[in-house]
């Protein structure tokens, strides 16, 4: 989402770092570039004006002029003020006596129903017993969609009796939750194509009937400043406790994420980073600010790896690599675990200084190449994966037909695997004989 903004900011700071001593004129030029980059990223103009004013006040003061590295100090100030604009992390309020009610509101198409399932999965994984409530009786197939998603994340869905209105459905759900010991009730309320009086009145009635601890607006980050205006309108009519920004993995310019907290005063609680049910991240302002400035986000990457990778299998794999007994079957297993973490370009963007590499891989369509590798290995028999040396010409033709690729693609993968095995053996030998083992 922040690709273009990150590139422009990094270019500005690179020019700044080439100057040994910064004058007020240097800072003015740099901040003018930062201002333009933020405005082009669709950040609210009032937010940009206030952010730049705060940065300038600090950047032309003593804390920069006395610094040994003035350019780095300016970057540090921009980073800190960006965090201040994004606000503080605000976890869900699940205190007090259960069941805790979370009401989701939003316009049609914002991803509200999918977000309800993502939130339910996250809460279930954290030890809660969530209940999803289908309170959207207007959108065709909305109830069925929630039931399908609920089955995917193993969370029950309450639909109420046929012909019941949303208020009656919510009241029934609360009775069901109390009777069966559910700890969190997630209300998927109706959306509209635009904000209207009837919608707001119904939301107010649902809120009065359920007294939610959290009233969260699900806003589409792709709509830019419209997301900010929608949040303001909802917050005026049905006071919000937080926001969930969806579709942040798309090509939105990112302005809504930066503006929405400052303009509405309502904290962002989660970012929906993909279509899968586990693609929901807690919002960490400091981590997002680091990503925007191209500093990476190693903490989020570690958390993602810990929830995705089987640590025991990872330890076994490390041992196999050390003893050069790593097979194509092991490689396929690692590839699938890596894919569960998300697109490779997203993973690389979390590593400091890897933004350019990520963009290069995006242009090379690395995801497609990874799919080809998975298809080739999947077309092999278990014996061929364990002992690729038995793969002769006829087997290669069969594998190529099975995966819909060419024999040369199969040859290329086998050649790469032989090279990696050779390197593993050299490293294993070097470990036993010291550095000179590499040359023996």
Domain that includes residue 140, residue range: 100-283
- How many separate domains does the chain show? 3
pTM over 0.75, yes/no = no
Tell me if 167 is assigned to some domain. Answer: yes
Is residue 288 included in any domain, yes or no?
no
CATH number at residue 193: 3.40.50.300
Segment 202-252, tens digit of pLDDT: 888 999 999 999 999 998 877 777 778 888 888 888 889 999 988 877 655
Give the model confidence (pLDDT) of 124-138 as tens digits.
999 999 999 999 888
Same domain, 60 and 136: no
Encoded tokens for 240: 């919000």
- 130 and 82 co-located in one domain: no
315 pLDDT band (50/70/90 cuts)? Answer: low
**What CA–CA distance (Å, rounded) separates 220 from 15?**
34
47-97 per-position pLDDT tens digit: 888 888 888 888 776 555 555 566 677 778 888 888 888 888 888 888 888
The residue out of 23, 53, 86 marking a domain boundary is 86
CATH number for position 42:
1.20.120.140
How would residue 361 be classed by pLDDT, with cut points 50, 70 and 90? very low
Comparing C-alpha atoms, which of 197, 243, 231, 221 is closest to residue 103? 243
Contacts of 74 (CB under 8 A, 6+ apart): 13, 16, 22, 27, 30, 55, 59, 64
Who's near 419: CB < 8 A, 6+ residues apart? none
d(CA 225, CA 87): 18
Same domain, 220 and 244: yes
Cα separation, 38 vs 172, in Å, equals 47
At residue 20 the predicted structure's pLDDT band, cuts being 50, 70 and 90, is low
pLDDT for res 292: 74
- CB distance 385 to 327 below 8 Å: yes
Domain CATH code at residue 413: 1.10.260.30
104 and 67 share a domain? Answer: no
**Does 139 share its domain with 240?**
yes
Report pLDDT for 343.
61
């Amino acid at each position: 989402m922040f690709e273009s903004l990150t590139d422009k900011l990094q270019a500005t700071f690179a020019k700044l770092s080439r100057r040994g001593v910064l004058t007020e004129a240097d800072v003015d030029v740099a901040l003018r570039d930062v201002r333009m980059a933020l405005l082009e990223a669709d950040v609210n103009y009032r937010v940009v004006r206030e952010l730049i004013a705060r940065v300038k006040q600090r950047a032309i003061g003593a804390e920069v002029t006395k610094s040994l590295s003035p350019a780095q100090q300016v970057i540090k100030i921009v980073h800190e003020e960006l965090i201040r604009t994004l606000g503080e992390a605000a976890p869900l309020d699940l205190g007090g006596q259960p069941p805790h009610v979370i009401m989701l509101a939003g316009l049609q198409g914002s991803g509200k129903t999918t977000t309800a399932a993502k939130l339910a999965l996250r809460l279930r994984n954290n030890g809660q017993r969530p209940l999803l409530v289908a309170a959207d009786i207007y959108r065709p197939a909305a109830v069925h969609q929630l039931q399908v998603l609920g089955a995917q994340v193993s969370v029950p869905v309450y639909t109420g009796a046929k012909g019941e209105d949303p208020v009656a459905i919510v009241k029934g759900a609360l009775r069901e939750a109390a009777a069966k010991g559910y700890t969190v009730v997630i209300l998927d309320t109706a959306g509209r194509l635009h904000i209207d009086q009837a919608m707001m009145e119904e939301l107010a009635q649902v809120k009065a009937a359920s007294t939610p601890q959290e009233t969260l607006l699900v806003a589409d980050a792709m709509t830019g400043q419209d997301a900010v205006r929608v949040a303001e309108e909802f917050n005026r009519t049905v006071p919000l406790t937080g926001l969930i920004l969806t579709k942040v993995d798309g090509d939105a310019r990112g302005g809504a994420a930066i503006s929405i907290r400052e303009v509405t005063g309502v904290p962002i609680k989660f970012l929906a980073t993909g279509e899968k049910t586990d693609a929901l991240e807690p919002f960490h302002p400091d981590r997002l600010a680091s990503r925007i400035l191209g500093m990476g986000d190693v903490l989020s990457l570690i958390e993602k790896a810990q929830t995705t990778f089987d640590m025991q299998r990872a330890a076994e794999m490390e041992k196999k690599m050390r003893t050069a007994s790593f097979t194509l079957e092991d490689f396929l297993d690692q590839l699938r675990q890596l894919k569960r973490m998300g697109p490779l370009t997203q993973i690389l963007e979390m590593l400091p200084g890897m933004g350019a590499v990520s963009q290069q891989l995006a242009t090379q369509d690395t995801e497609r190449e990874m799919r080809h590798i998975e298809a080739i290995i999947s077309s092999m028999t278990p014996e061929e994966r364990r002992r690729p040396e038995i793969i002769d010409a006829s087997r290669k033709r069969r594998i190529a037909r099975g995966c819909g690729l060419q024999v040369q693609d199969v040859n290329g993968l086998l050649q790469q695997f032989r090279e990696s095995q050779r390197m593993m053996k050299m490293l294993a030998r070097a470990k036993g004989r010291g550095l000179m083992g590499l040359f023996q």
